[in-house]
Structure 1
Amino acid sequence: MQRFKPIHAALAAAAAAVALLLTSTLSMAQGRLGVGAQELGDPDYGVCRGVDARCYHDWGNFDASQGHKILLYTRTAGPRHANLGPALGMGLNPTLTASNVVQNAVVKLGADNGFQVDYTEDVSQLSSPAALFRYNAVAFFSTSRDTLDDAAQTSLRQYVRGGGGFVGIHNAFGTEYNWPWYEGLLGGANFYDHGPEQSGTVLTVNRKDTSTKDLPRTWTFTDEWYNLVPAPSRVRVLAEVDESTLAKGVAGNYHHPGHGDDHPVAWCQYYDGGRAWLTTLGHDAKDFTTDGSYPGAAEFQKLILGGIESAMGKKPFCK
């Protein structure tokens, strides 16, 4: 039997460890070798992605002189968050009730800040790239499960490839689980589980970005604090939750142990030609209160406003 000399064996072991790290089969989670989720698969999702603006396709599909407009999509094919209210009728901009808190709030956010918001839960409104190119960004807010059909999947991908903006909020991370391209659009991340809804401290780790420049260094907020598998990679993390402030603990209902010192809740990236801005926050209807009665609501609204405006190209993106 061939035997390696000690130096050769050491080199071989080192090379194997590097290979495992590059393929993400060996985790460095929380600084502990071999501990954490095994985030398997192609880390690039077969596209140009990351924080390098050269990944963006500025192909002339949008005319800023015509103003700015987003499409808000809230269709659910699984669990439905209470802040979405009752399911919407067909077409664009169907009648809303007072219980459709998210839709009403985002429409008002646009009206107050100089951009138009169309909203829908009708998948046919996403059926062609031409339909989507009417919008500077598409926002998924707490969609769930397989909320797109084949035509809409193709349309969304072509839209993003043509320089479109994407905003994913809260349970956008619980959507289209079995579509690797969409997982990459989210930053190479997916919802796994969450612990009890509870108050915690958000750390604004990057205050240069449009979405975070007006936020304090720390702020109190209440959410479910999603645990993610995979966790986002090759993105610019904008905000994290300080897990030590979560009194009810970080372990999720499917026993995810939490993310330790690096638990991101908002980030951005360029992806497959487009811009993507993401946050796991946004569970509670009270997030949209404006009377100061709900801690963190004003900060959350500033966060998503900046995310939308930057994904649209209305303001600088992912700085």
Structure 2
Amino acid sequence: MVSRMAAVPALLVHTRTTDYRHDSIPAGIAALRALGGFDVVATEDPAAFEERLDRYAAVVFLSTSGEVLTPAGRDRLAAYVEAGGGFAGVHAAACTEYDWPYYGDLLGARFDRHPALQPGRAVVEDHDHPATRHLPPVWHFTDEWYDFRTSPRGRVRVLLSADESSYDGGGMGDDHPLAWCHEQGQGRVFYTALGHTAGAYDDPDFRAHLHGGITWAAAR
């Protein structure tokens, strides 16, 4: 009898920037490759979205910024998610595709501003999710603590929120989601605002946070 190994699911990791570029992008790609369980295809080429996307278990926007897709690529990505493809956004993915209304609905919220990089506390709101079940109730982390133009609460399942009393410069008040998930059409979407520094991608808890969120999004 000849045994056949199941193909490893693939991730398309997009890291194109047309605005601010994070120095942590290479560390983020390396961390995703080190997680295991996925064949990571990293690209800066928007033409990759004009080809078949259904070969990928999920698409990941890793600290993208500005307008990063062509009109045809936008159509392909939307059709892919609506038909059951997974999508995950990390950190500056919320600073992306401001001119495409669908993307704002897909991600859940758009970046507004952030205070200085500093330590703070993230509060786990939902422990019954693979992105957060490994975390303590209060997670001490160092990041930029993104503010969003509006809170996505009510439209998404909030997993983590920021405790603005734990750092300086927060602008959203008591309702400050940081990580969430939701369904879009037949697809699944996960987003985390964390991941500014290269050091974050060496943190075991943050790696598990990414792995859990992406794995959830990739599960059809």
Counterpart residue number, 1:215 = 135
Counterpart residue number, 1:106 = 32
Equivalent position amino acid for 1:109 in 2: L
Query: What is the aligned counterpart of 1:206 among 96, 107, 126?
Result: 126
C-alpha distance in 1, partners of 2:8/2:216?
14
Counterpart residue number, 2:199 = 286
Counterpart residue number, 2:3 = none
Q: Please list the CA deviations of residues 20-50 of structure 1 after superposition, one character each: whole Å capped at 9, or x if unmatched.
A: xxxxxxxxxxxxxxxxxxxxxxxxxxxxxxx
Counterpart residue number, 1:164 = 85
Confirm whether residue 299 of structure 1 aligns to residue 219 of structure 2. no
C-alpha distance in 1, partners of 2:139/2:80?
35
Equivalent position amino acid for 2:19 in 1: G
C-alpha distance in 2, partners of 1:209/1:104?
24
Equivalent position amino acid for 2:136 in 1: P
Equivalent position amino acid for 1:223 in 2: D
Deviates more, 1:159-168 or 1:258-267: 258-267
- Higher strand residue share: 2
Q: How many Å apart are 1:249 and its aligned residue?
A: 2.7
Equivalent position amino acid for 1:229 in 2: R
Q: Please list the CA deviations of residues 103-130 of structure 1 after superposition, one character each: whole Å capped at 9, or x if unmatched.
A: 12211113xxx221111111111113xx
Equivalent position amino acid for 1:240 in 2: S
Equivalent position amino acid for 2:123 in 1: L
Equivalent position amino acid for 2:176 in 1: H
Q: How many Å apart are 1:154 and its aligned residue?
A: 0.7
Q: How many Å apart are 1:273 and its aligned residue?
A: 2.3
Query: What is the aligned counterpart of 1:183 among 79, 82, 104?
Result: 104
Q: How many Å apart are 1:218 and its aligned residue?
A: 1.0
8 Å Cα contact 2:131-2:208 kept in structure 1: yes
8 Å Cα contact 1:190-1:231 kept in structure 2: no
Query: What is the aligned counterpart of 1:266 among 179, 183, 190?
Result: 179
Counterpart residue number, 1:97 = none
SS at match of 1:76: coil
> 5+ residue gaps in structure 2?
1-5
Confirm whether residue 124 of structure 1 aligns to residue 47 of structure 2. yes
Q: Give the TM-score of the pair, scaled to structure 2.
A: 0.93
C-alpha distance in 2, partners of 1:278/1:101?
18
> 5+ residue gaps in structure 1?
1-64, 85-99, 251-257, 290-296, 315-319
Q: How many Å apart are 1:298 and its aligned residue?
A: 2.1
C-alpha distance in 2, partners of 1:162/1:73?
20
Q: Give the TM-score of the pair, scaled to structure 1.
A: 0.65
Aligned-residue CA RMSD (Å): 1.3
Misfit runs of 4+, over 6 Å: none
C-alpha distance in 2, partners of 1:162/1:67?
21
Q: How many Å apart are 1:179 and its aligned residue?
A: 1.0
Q: How many Å apart are 1:79 and its aligned residue?
A: 0.9
Q: How many Å apart are 1:219 and its aligned residue?
A: 1.4
8 Å Cα contact 1:162-1:274 kept in structure 2: yes
Query: What is the aligned counterpart of 2:71 among 147, 150, 168?
Result: 150
Q: How many Å apart are 1:175 and its aligned residue?
A: 0.2
The percentage of aligned residue pairs carrying the same residue is: 43
8 Å Cα contact 1:211-1:304 kept in structure 2: yes
SS at match of 1:82: coil
C-alpha distance in 1, partners of 2:13/2:89?
10
Task: Choose between structure 1 and 2 for higher RCO, CA contacts under 8 A separated by at least 6 residues.
Answer: 2
8 Å Cα contact 2:195-2:201 kept in structure 1: no
How many residue pairs get aligned? The number is 214
Q: How many Å apart are 1:277 and its aligned residue?
A: 0.4
C-alpha distance in 1, partners of 2:57/2:38?
10
